[in-house]
Amino acid sequence: MTNPIHIGFLIYPQVTQLDATGPAQVLSLVPGAIIHFIWKTTDPVPTDAGFAILPTDDFDSCPDLDVICIPGGLGQGAIMDDQDVLAFVRRQGEQARYVTSVCSGSLLLGAAGLLTNYKAACHWLLRDRLPDFGAEPVAERVVRDRNRISGGGVTAGIDFGLTLAEELAGEQAAKIAQLFLEYDPCPPFDAGTPEKAGPELEATVRAMVADVSL
């Protein structure tokens, strides 16, 4: 009988849903995995894509997690100093087997004091903020440093999910998940990093989030 593996994602208002739902879909295929979407209440939580996610747990009902994952999102600035959120993340992070993030979620791990002297990934727009929290930024889609595993921006969450699936259940299980999900990306454009996209597109994207505070 497979032991349960409790994997929790913090879901907050204006979270980037793919940061959470992408790896959650991958990790749901790990034998024994139980996925938790967690917020202060179990009321629907609006995402930055315009639809809501229904949490499975609140901070009090959430069990001790084997994996805690913090996704990024446009609403993250509103919780970077939220003591209830930071206390929950810190409490779970101090006992979890793996402390993880996707996109700008690594900054919230840092704000909770969980990335000091660790290497970490982050969305390229915010990667230079990691040293503010004692972390070492790394420009990779997935970064592993001891029991900290972090994914880069948004779509890197799928790569992150497969990496974590291998950690939890082995390479074969991760490959089965990859094949089941037909994860064989071949995008129609090659503009997924600032270096590939060029300065004009980079400036356009920076302008899109110029008023967002994280």
State the catalytic residues: 103
Write out the E strands in 12-147.
Answer: 33-39, 45-46, 52-53, 57-58, 67-70, 98-102, 119-120, 136-137, 142-145
State the CB neighbour count (10 A cutoff) for residue 106: 32
Q: Which two tokens stand for residue 138?
A: 């790394």
Q: Which two tokens stand for residue 147?
A: 């029991």
State the CB neighbour count (10 A cutoff) for residue 134: 13
